[in-house]
Amino acid sequence: MSSTDDYKVPPLSWPAIGSRADSFRQQFGLHAFPEVPVIELIEQVLDLQLNLVRFDVGSHHEMGRAEGYTCPTGKFIMLREDVYEKACAGEGRARFTAAHELGHWHLHTNVPLARAKRGDGTKPYCLAEPQANQFAAQFLMPQSFIYASDREQDLVERFGVSWDAAHHRLRYLRKNGRL
């Protein structure tokens, strides 16, 4: 998918997505921990223990520019090999990519999809990519562990995310009066 391609999905508000991400954390006993082991959750728990989704690692040749892919029917989540290796090593951007794909799986499995182009007037809360980003942000950086005095570097260290992800999360929370 190019940077301007997306899919229209049923609308979900950011607070509703945040609630679903928090509930997902709770369901797997992760609500008490700031940093979640997202790769282990997908690979070891959801795939190997519960057999809910198959986790695959794809080659550069197979995936091209796509860093991750989630089957619309929920059969599998795939990360490109370099993204998987970086996520396993704790690199923040790669961890966000894994959480983003988890968001697609959790939010968009078996929902109606229609092709869309960013900038075509479709509201972000009706697009798959912004929804998955919002899920990943809330899943990796729950508001319950973020304080008004926090700066980006605090979130980077607490949650194992990139500076950019931390910046966007703080900006969202402050803009919406949640800090």
3-state secondary structure of 162: coil
The tens digit of pLDDT for each residue in 60-109 reads 999 999 999 999 999 999 999 999 999 999 999 999 999 999 999 999 99
Rounded to 5°, the CA angle 108-19-97 comes to: 50
Q: What is the mean pLDDT of residues 2-6?
A: 70
Non-local CB neighbours of 24 within 8 Å, separated by 6+ positions: 106, 139
The tens digit of pLDDT for each residue in 17-31 reads 999 999 999 999 999
The pLDDT of residue 2 is above 70: no
CA distances to 34, 49, 119 from 93, in Å: 17, 26, 25
**Beta-carbon count within 10 A of 92 CB:** 20
pTM above 0.75, yes or no: yes
End-to-end CA distance of the chain: 35
The pLDDT of residue 162 is above 70: yes
Nearest to 74 by CA among 103, 96, 43, 99: 103
Grade residue 118 by pLDDT with cuts at 50, 70 and 90: confident
The pLDDT of residue 4 is above 80: no
Q: Where are the domains of the chain?
A: 5-175
The pLDDT of residue 32 is above 60: yes
pLDDT recorded at residue 3: 58
Q: Which residue has the higher pLDDT, 113 or 54?
A: 54
